[in-house]
A and B are shown apart, each in its own frame.
Chain A
Amino acid sequence: MFHRRYIIICLALICVLFLISTVEAQKIMSIQLKESQLRVTPSFLGKITAKLFYGERVTVLQEKGAWKKVSIPGKNVQGWIHETALTSKSIVLKAGRGTVGTSVTGKEIALAGKGFNEEVEAQYKKNNKNLDYTWINQMETMKVSPEQMEDFIAGGNLVFGAEGGNP
């Protein structure tokens, strides 16, 4: 004999699942990069409207392929950002690392600065004194600006997004 109470419990669980997916549809996302930019158009060659930093939150307004048009809560700024710059997890910064509060709870949290971080790298270096990070630091300073990229593309008879791909 299958008790009615348990059928109700099972139905309730399924309802909870649907409720959660509805809440997730209204998207607030976080920047998962050291820094990123919002652009006027959905392209890496688009003019930059704002700079964003790790853990900052944005509201998704519109989607176009791999690009999302977002706004920054509390600020009158909108722009396009590539989806790989964003995570649906709430990024909680360690105290003193940023403006984002640490009041968020739950499992969908990426703890910025936790885990394999500067501190762990320093400890690892201490254990492996033969390793030299000079060139790693050096190569990380080699950055290409959108203008240089645009010149390189035009100058080489190339096309950005020739196949309607991600750019």
Chain B
Amino acid sequence: MNKLSRYAILLTLAALTGCAAVETVTTIATDVGVQSGALTKAQGESIRKSTQAVSRSMEDFTQEQEYYIGRSVGAIVLGKYSALSDAKVNAYLNLLGQTLAMASDMPELFGGYHFLALNSDDINAFATPGGHIFVTRGLIRCCRTEDALAAVLAHEIGHVQLRHGMKAIEKGRVTEALTILAQESAKSFGSEDVIRLTREFGGAISDITNTMIKNGYSRAYEYQADAVSVTILKRIGYNPAALIDMLNVMARQMKPGGNDFARTHPSPQSRIAELKDNSGIALTSIEPPAVRKERFTKAVGHLL
């Protein structure tokens, strides 16, 4: 058995890694390798297994699964904050938010985007991987115009589009859940599998809510979501400077040491600085057209 030739096959296999059809190619390649005697059966098997493990990542979750993760993350948010049962406000948030979502790079989700106001004076907002987006009355109060509220909702859409929630799930958990799935995918699920999967599901929900509610995403993620917000606002004809205007109001209304954005987000000042540096937004605030002002006041004026 020639050592060099075995390396050649292994090298070819390595070169093929990273291609979309890597598993299929690897399967064929290892079969060829084993049959020609270049690899032992055990070696072939181990290459196959490790390729499968490597190719199992967050991307392997279907949108349907992200939707179910989102529902439970949302239920936890609603355990901390109660919903604002105001049909006028919620209808307006959905009209505005769903329109903005259509202008994002991720306009379609398994169950679509849905928005809900929260009955709290905290300055806070949350977006689940399933497209459930929540905004507190306290944050709506930081918005003086429809453009500013659009900036807030578009920032949350940014977190969904960039899958920041899903990225908060521990890698080991992702692998574990997908391994259970891969083992059992061919046959129907037994109750034992449901219990194992529910354990991973619960873990994933905790990973996401701990990050989202308690610790906050990284500063980089927040700046990225701001950048997406600016893109969406521009695409649809809103004034992107409204995001800066909103952040200025937020800076004045935010209570230091609060358990809301004060804890989970970079300071409004540093977000403004980042926006000026990287998005080149002019500070000069332009008044929105009268029609927009009017409908904004009509929909949320009683909260301000």
Residue from A20, A116, A153 in contact with B99 in the complex, judged by beta carbons closer than 8 Å: A153
Given contacts A84-B107, A133-B71, A149-B99, contact A3 B5 (CB under 8 A): yes
- CB-CB under 8 A from B108, the residues of chain A are 33, 36, 82, 84-85
Which stretch, B74-82, B242-250, B276-284, touches the partner chain A?
A: B74-82
B interface, size bucket = 35 or more
Given contacts A116-B68, A153-B99, A156-B292, contact A7 B8 (CB under 8 A): yes
Residue of A whose beta carbon sits closest to that of B74: A136
Residue from B95, B105, B132, B198 in contact with A166 in the complex, judged by beta carbons closer than 8 Å: B105
Chain B: interface secondary structure?
helix
Which stretch, B59-67, B215-223, B251-259, B263-271, touches the partner chain A?
A: B59-67
CB distance from B98 to the nearest CB of A (A): 4
Residue from A34, A82, A152, A162 in contact with B107 in the complex, judged by beta carbons closer than 8 Å: A82
A residues in contact (CB < 8 Å) with B: 1-3, 5-7, 9-10, 12-14, 16-17, 20-21, 24, 32-34, 36, 44, 54, 66, 82, 84-85, 87, 91, 94, 106-107, 109-121, 123-124, 127-128, 130-133, 135-136, 138-140, 142-144, 148-149, 152-153, 155-163, 165-167
- Please list the 8 inter-chain residue pairs (A to B) with the smallest Cβ-Cβ separation, ordered nearest first: A6-B5, A158-B237, A123-B198, A165-B235, A116-B65, A20-B21, A84-B108, A159-B237
Q: A116-B197, A158-B237 are in contact. List 14 more A-B contacts (CB 8 A).
A: A6-B9, A13-B12, A13-B16, A24-B20, A36-B108, A94-B188, A114-B181, A136-B75, A148-B95, A152-B96, A152-B99, A160-B103, A163-B234, A167-B236
